[in-house]
Amino acid sequence: MLTVKRTALAVMMISALLSGMANAAEKATPVFTPEQEARIGEVAKDWLIAHPDVLVVVSQKLQAQQQEEQQRSMTAAAIQNQAALLNDKGTPSYGPTDAKVTVVGFFDYQCIYCARLAPELEKIIKANPKTRFVFKEFPIFGQRWPASLSAAKTGLQVWQQKGADAYLKYHNALYATGHNEGKLTAGDISTAAKAVGLSAKTAPDVQETLDGINTLAQQLGFSGTPALVVMPATGASADNVTVIPGFTSAAALQVAIDKAAVNGEK
């Protein structure tokens, strides 16, 4: 299936190139007769069919160019939305408020890749005590699995009612259940919330915060989870901001933190 998609992309790219050549030819003095042009087209088509590896190479190059453009676009959007990423008081955070570097993560408790990222992130948090970590509850599976949305709301309530340490404990406890992709239960959420002392009777309304996170994710071009942004508190630029739209390792995340630290200590 992937090969077919790449071939289709390559055909589109080659078609666009041939179209551009045709338009240019219309403006210039004709070099070939219509019959000759038709024959050249047939020969080129037959050659490409006989050498499909060329289509794969072209499609790979096109895909790489698209990814690079997407990365530049997301990085620019992150810099433009730095205040929303770093300064939303309704969003949970852990670490010093005056940190030189911040790691912002968008995640869903039902996302299997978020679950795989959780232990990697735990390693990074322990290894970087001077770095601040911001947790954007982004329950993209809320309509499919109600526990996704419920867990996100409860997490925000824990943050607002009990603070950073309680939130991180709740956050890690849900991933420690190993219940993702629709397996998280109301019992799992209740157990984790009770363990950190959340009072359901006085839990605040957090819908506005969730709506704001969803809007921010759209502005950044994030359609899935996990998604990470690593940036310095000041002097953010394309050279020191890293956007990671997907799973990553602790080692890769550390590289991003080190890059952002050019403006100060980690």
Residues 1-13: pLDDT tens digits? Answer: 434 444 444 445 5
- Please indicate, yes or no, if residue 252 is contained in any of the structural domains: yes
Between 262 and 114, residue with greater pLDDT: 114
**Cβ–Cβ < 8 Å for 155, 171:** yes
Residue 220 included in any domain = yes
Q: How confident is the model at residue 249 (pLDDT cuts 50, 70, 90)?
A: very high
Assigned domain for 77 exists: no
Q: Is residue 143 part of a domain?
A: yes
pLDDT at 265 over 80: no
182 lies in the same domain as 218: yes
Is 61 in the same domain as 157? no
62 and 88 in a common domain: no
Report the pLDDT value the prediction gives residue 153, as an integer from 0 to 100: 98
Residues ≥6 apart with Cβ < 8 Å to 137: 91, 92, 107, 152, 153, 155, 156, 209, 210, 213
Same domain, 215 and 90: yes
Is residue 47 located within the same domain as residue 147? no
| Residue 69, pLDDT score | 78
Q: What is the mean pLDDT of residues 114-140?
A: 97
Domain boundary among 72, 92, 120: 72
In this prediction, residue 32 has a pLDDT band, given cuts at 50, 70 and 90, of confident
Check: pTM over 0.85? Answer yes or no.
Answer: no
What long-range pairs does 184-192 form, CB within 8 A, spacing at least 24? 184/109, 184/110, 184/145, 184/147, 184/148, 184/151, 185/147, 186/147, 186/150, 188/147, 188/151, 189/147, 189/150, 189/151, 189/154, 192/154
pLDDT of residue 65: 61
CA atoms of 258 and 227, how far apart (whole Å): 18
Count of the separate structural domains present in the chain:
2
The answer to whether residues 115 and 154 belong to one domain is yes
Q: What is the reported pLDDT for 55?
A: 61
What is the overall mean pLDDT for the chain? 87
Kindly indicate the confidence band of residue 35, based on its pLDDT and cuts at 50, 70 and 90: confident
The verdict on residue 25 lying in a domain is: yes
> Which residue segment(s) compose the domain that 40 sits in?
2-72
- The per-residue pLDDT for 7 is 46
